[in-house]
Amino acid sequence: MFEIGFATIIGAIVGVFLLLVVAYLLIGATLITAEVVMTAQRDMTEVQTDKTGTSIAIEDHQIVDNTTLYLLVKNDGTTVIKNPLQMDMFLATETGTQTREEWVKIEITPDFINPGFLDPGETLNMSMTIDELNPPIWVKVATPTGTAASAYL
């Protein structure tokens, strides 16, 4: 008889232990899920803040020898554009075609505070090769966050 009572106690201990392990796993999974959700919300808030504070303007343009287009794009917002090389440039011609074009960074002026970043108040000088037989009449520059500026040439 003594052996049956001892087996019941061991079974109860194992049952309680398994219950604690399952509770620990559920609580851990819940905490990890909550942390992932909070991180995602913080990241989205940061992206929205960057997007609302981003503003650019095309200040000037120049076409040299009917083959090279130079643009001056000013960051007139409140957010730093951390990688201006990820900006996109689109051109439209008289024939109605619109294309995304590759461009080259000439310089950022003045570029003293965060070298390589397009800080508020700084101007990016960019250039690209154009088709002299089908010159562009309109240009659009878009930042990585989706803010854009356009101008007729």
Q: What is the DSSP letter of 55?
A: -
Statement: residue 53 has pLDDT above 90: no
pLDDT-derived band at 66 (thresholds 50, 70, 90) equals confident
pLDDT-derived band at 6 (thresholds 50, 70, 90) equals confident
> Could you read off the pLDDT of 69-113 as tens digits, one per residue?
999 999 998 889 999 999 999 999 988 888 999 999 999 999 888
Q: Can you tell me the mean pLDDT for 55-79? A: 93
pLDDT at 2: 53
Q: Please check whether residue 147 is in contact with residue 54, taking contact to mean a CB–CB distance below 8 angstroms.
A: yes
Q: Which of 148, 151, 149, 147 is nearest to 50 (CA)?
A: 147
What is the Cα–Cα distance from 113 to 106, expressed in whole angstroms? 18
Statement: residue 1 has pLDDT above 90: no
